Each structure stands twice: as structure tokens, then as C-alpha cells.
């Protein structure tokens, strides 16, 4: 089976500072990969390099496109990459405000990607928008409300709906539960897990919250100072951490 995403030796430096160094992994269809590490460990840099928002200094990011098969997204043309990022890819930002248009209604937010790929039938767009609101557990009566009238958790769910409406195959998530209280986090994670399994999505989740990866991720990658220090199955890494930093990370989690 061809991996959905092959990352080969990706590196990004900020001047003399290392953003991330020599990262390689394969992601197969339907697989969820977690990237954990402390602040400044290069998680977000890596994610942005993979999603095309940053250009890596070295390395290849090969995505298995629907039509043309595996292509290097670093060297492909910008229109192609932007097309990918609004059809086959989705990016869920930590702050919903970064990923939503706050002055546009919930329905318009969800419909934007549909219209961007050429949908020009109002009723169909609206129907899909209300269907997706239902799937992310937002009442359909809120379809014409602006996201600024939504709670933090609802904004985050709306952002997810807006991203998944075109049926992407790969979702990048940057701290999807950051800044939400624990009960809202739990619901969001529950919903995400349902969507990922139901749609057969592949996902790369960057987080510092070990509970999130425990729940969602099949595999785990631990980063420190821009380097990958440990990889493995999620429960293997969390239950039997080998690297000193991973041991520290696991033991730092507060037990209630």
C-alpha cells in the first residue's frame, strides 16, 4: 500500500536556530499520528512545513494525490498546493479565530470551501452546511449566526466542520483542544474520534496534551529541540517510555 504521506528528512532552520531537523515518517490512509513535545520543540514548525504554510529548507513531503499519485508538495507549483489545501487537506488551528471568518455566518463559513471548488447552487450549499452543523453538534438554527456569537467550543467545532465539508483525506490539527475547558475538550475529542473513524481520515495532531493523543492517535512521535527523540505505537510510548525526555513528559502528567 502506498502511504498517504511520506516525509523524508524535513528540516527547517530559523537562522542559526533549529526549527526541526531531519524528520522522516510515513502516514498510511486512515492512520492518526500524534506529535507531542514541549513548547518550542518544533512541533508547529514541522506541521506548517507539512501543510505547505512554511517552506522546509531540506527534505521532501510526498503526498499521494487522487489523480496524479505521489507528488512532492514542496516542489509543486503554488496553485496546485493551494488547490490541495482546500480539497484534500484540512488545517484545524489552535485558535478557531485563525481558521474562521468571524464576520461571515456559520453557514457561509462552511460553504466557503464548497464555493471555492466551484459549487454555485445556493440550496445545495445550504443543505450541506446544515448537515455539517448537525454532525458537529451545533443546532441548525444557528446557521445564520456569526461565529463571534458562538462559545469557544462551538467555534472550534465549526472550524472542524468548515474544514471537513469537502471530504479531505488528510487533516492537520494544531492543538485542537487548546484553551478549552476539560468537559468541552472531552466532547470535542469524542466527536473528532467519531469523525475520524467514520470518514476514514488520516490526521496529524500536534499537541502537548498526552490525553488527547492517548484517545485519538495510533502512533506517536516525541519531539525535543527540533529532533524526534522517540516514535512508536501510542500505548507503547506512553506506557513504556524509553527516552529520558519521554519519561519526564509522561511522569509530568498530573493524576487526579
Partner 1 sequence: MSDYNFAYLDEQTKRMIRRAILKALAVPGYQVPFASREMPMPYGWGTGGVQVSAATLTPDDTLKVIDQGADDTTNAVSIRKFFEKTAGIATTEETKKASIIQTRHRIPEAELTEDQILVYQVPIPEPLRFLEPRETETRKMHALQEYGLMHVKLYEDISQHGAIATAYAYPVKVEGRYVMDPSPIPKFDNPKMEMPAIQLFGAGREQRIYAVPPYTQVVSLDFEDYPFQASKADHPCGLCGAEDSYLDEVILDDAGNRMFVCSDTDYCRSRREAGQVGQLGEEAA
Annotate the chain with three-state secondary structure: CCCCEEEEEEEEEECCEEEEEEEEEEECCCCEEEEEECCCCCHHHHHHHHCCCCCCCEEEEEEEECCCEEEECCCCCHHHHHHHHHHCEEEECCCHHHHCCCCCCHHHHHHHHHHHCCCCCHHHHHHHHHHHHHHCCCCHHHCCCCHHHCCHHHHHHHHHHHHHCCCCCEEEEECCCCCCCHHHHHHHHHHHHHHHHHHCCEEEEEECCHHHHHHHCCEEEEEECCEEEEEEEHHHHHHCCCCHHHHHHHHCCCCC
- For binding to partner 1 (CB under 8 A), which residues are involved? 78-79, 82, 101, 104-105, 107-108, 111-113, 115-118, 120-123, 125-126, 143-144
Shortest Cβ distance from residue 113 to partner 1 (Å)?
A: 8
Choose between 161 and 173: whose C-beta lies nearer to partner 1.
161
Question: Which grid coordinates belong to 35?
Answer: 506529535
Shortest Cβ distance from residue 5 to partner 1 (Å)?
A: 24
Choose between 2 and 149: whose C-beta lies nearer to partner 1.
149
Shortest Cβ distance from residue 106 to partner 1 (Å)?
A: 10
Shortest Cβ distance from residue 121 to partner 1 (Å)?
A: 5
Shortest Cβ distance from residue 123 to partner 1 (Å)?
A: 5
Choose between 42 and 111: whose C-beta lies nearer to partner 1.
111
Shortest Cβ distance from residue 133 to partner 1 (Å)?
A: 13
Choose between 116 and 182: whose C-beta lies nearer to partner 1.
116
Choose between 89 and 245: whose C-beta lies nearer to partner 1.
89
Q: Quote the crossing angle between the two packed helices 78-87 and 106-116, to the nearest 10°.
A: 130
Choose between 57 and 119: whose C-beta lies nearer to partner 1.
119
Amino acid at each position: 500500500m502506498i502511504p498517504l504521506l511520506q516525509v523524508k528528512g524535513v528540516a527547517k532552520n530559523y537562522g542559526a536556530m533549529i526549527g526541526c531537523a531531519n524528520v522522516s515518517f510515513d502516514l498510511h490512509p486512515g492512520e492518526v499520528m500524534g506529535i507531542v513535545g514541549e513548547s518550542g520543540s518544533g512541533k508547529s514548525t514541522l506541521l506548517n512545513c507539512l501543510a505547505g504554510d512554511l517552506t522546509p529548507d531540506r527534505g521532501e513531503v510526498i503526498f499521494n494525490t487522487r489523480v496524479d499519485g505521489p507528488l512532492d508538495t514542496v516542489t509543486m507549483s503554488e496553485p496546485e498546493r493551494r488547490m490541495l489545501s482546500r480539497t484534500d487537506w484540512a488545517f484545524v488551528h489552535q485558535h478557531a479565530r485563525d481558521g474562521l471568518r468571524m464576520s461571515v455566518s456559520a453557514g457561509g463559513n462552511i460553504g466557503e470551501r464548497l464555493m471555492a471548488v466551484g459549487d454555485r447552487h445556493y440550496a445545495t450549499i445550504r443543505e450541506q452546511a446544515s448537515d455539517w452543523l448537525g454532525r458537529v453538534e451545533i443546532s441548525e438554527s444557528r446557521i445564520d449566526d456569526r461565529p463571534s456569537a458562538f462559545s469557544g467550543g462551538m467555534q472550534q467545532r465549526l472550524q472542524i466542520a468548515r474544514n471537513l465539508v469537502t471530504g479531505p483525506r488528510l487533516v492537520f490539527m494544531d492543538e485542537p483542544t487548546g484553551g478549552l475547558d476539560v468537559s468541552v475538550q472531552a466532547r470535542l475529542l469524542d466527536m473528532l474520534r467519531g469523525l475520524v473513524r467514520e470518514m476514514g481520515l488520516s490526521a496529524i495532531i500536534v499537541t502537548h496534551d498526552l490525553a488527547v493523543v492517548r484517545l485519538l492517535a495510533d502512533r506517536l512521535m516525541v519531539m525535543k529541540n527540533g529532533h524526534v527523540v522517540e516514535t512508536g505505537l501510542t500505548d507503547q510510548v506512553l506506557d513504556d517510555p524509553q527516552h529520558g525526555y519521554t519519561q519526564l513528559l509522561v511522569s509530568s502528567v498530573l493524576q487526579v
